[in-house]
């Protein structure tokens, strides 16, 4: 390489350096802001995670302290005093409160709390289905059979989380109304359902025998 070429290369490198320094002086603050934003965002996320963890821990401690009360009325009072921050937390608290109220023979209050969860549209379906199901069980003596049947049928939609348990309850309503054959047909179908658990199949078989029928052999799913 000639001296002229070396000189040109050095000048070119100096020009590049000068341009870089100029850009840094002009736009370097952008990089600083970006770094601060990244570090600040990470710190905020950590703070938010820590806050949520602390909140969840405080809620759990409050619920556990309430549940440790020996008297069901005291448990209910303690649970009512717990403060929640999210719909999910509120739903869990209401269901626990309903359980304490049942133990205290306060069925109306328990049903009211469960129904409040059942109609809370921003909750996952499983929460609402469980609340509806429990509320209906508590109203087996107070709610007309036709109304209970209608609400249990709403829980039997394809893919519903408590579909099979609702079918079982409808069979019991059939029995209570004297419609034995409808109950037998429903229970036989229930036993053949691919999603039915072993315990549910066994309960259905016992009910079929108690009604004078004979359980059909369970057909294993194909494939």
Residue 87 has pLDDT above 70, yes or no: yes
Q: Does residue 71 contact residue 100 with C-beta atoms inside 8 Å? A: no
Residue bearing the bigger pLDDT, 78 or 1: 78
pLDDT for position 57: 67
Average pLDDT in the 78-105 region?
83
Burial class (CB in 10 A: 0-12, 13-18, 19+), 182: middle
Task: Provide CB contacts within 8 A for 134, sequence distance 6+.
Answer: 95, 98, 114
Query: What's the pLDDT at 14?
Result: 56
User: DSSP alpha helices (H): ranges in the chain?
Assistant: 3-67, 72-80, 87-103, 107-118, 125-138, 145-154, 163-176, 180-192, 198-210
Higher pLDDT, 36 or 200: 200
- Contact in structure between 156 and 169 (CB atoms under 8 Å): no
* Alpha carbon 138 to chain centroid, angstroms: 22
Q: Report the range of poorest mean pLDDT among 135-139, 182-186, 217-221.
A: 217-221
Short-list 188, 179, 178, 183, CA closest to 214: 188
Average of per-residue pLDDT across 32-48: 50
Residue 4 is predicted with a pLDDT of 46
- With beta carbons less than 8 A apart as the criterion, state whether 152 and 145 touch: no
* pLDDT for residue 168: 95
**Rounded distance between C-alpha atoms, residue 171 and residue 180, angstroms:** 9
């Amino acid at each position: 390489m000639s001296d002229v070429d070396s000189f040109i290369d050095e000048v070119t490198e100096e020009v590049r350096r000068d341009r870089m320094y100029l850009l840094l002086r002009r736009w370097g603050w952008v990089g600083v802001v970006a770094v601060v934003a990244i570090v600040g965002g990470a710190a905020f996320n950590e703070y938010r995670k820590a806050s949520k963890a602390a909140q969840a821990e405080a809620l759990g401690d409050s619920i556990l302290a309430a549940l440790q009360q020996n008297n069901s009325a005291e448990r209910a009072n303690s649970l009512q005093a717990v403060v929640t921050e999210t719909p999910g937390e509120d739903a869990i608290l209401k269901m626990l409160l309903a359980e304490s109220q049942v133990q205290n023979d306060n069925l109306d209050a328990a049903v009211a709390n469960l129904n409040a969860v059942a109609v809370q549209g921003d909750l996952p379906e499983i929460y609402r289905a469980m609340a509806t199901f429990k509320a209906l069980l508590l109203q087996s003596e107070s709610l007309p059979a036709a109304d209970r049947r209608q609400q249990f049928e709403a829980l039997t939609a394809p893919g519903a989380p408590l579909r099979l348990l609702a079918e079982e309850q409808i069979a019991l309503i059939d029995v209570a109304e004297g419609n034995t054959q409808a109950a037998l047909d429903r229970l036989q179908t229930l036993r053949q359902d691919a999603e039915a658990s072993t315990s549910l199949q066994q309960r259905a078989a016992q009910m079929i025998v108690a009604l004078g029928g004979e359980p059909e052999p369970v057909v294993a799913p194909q494939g």
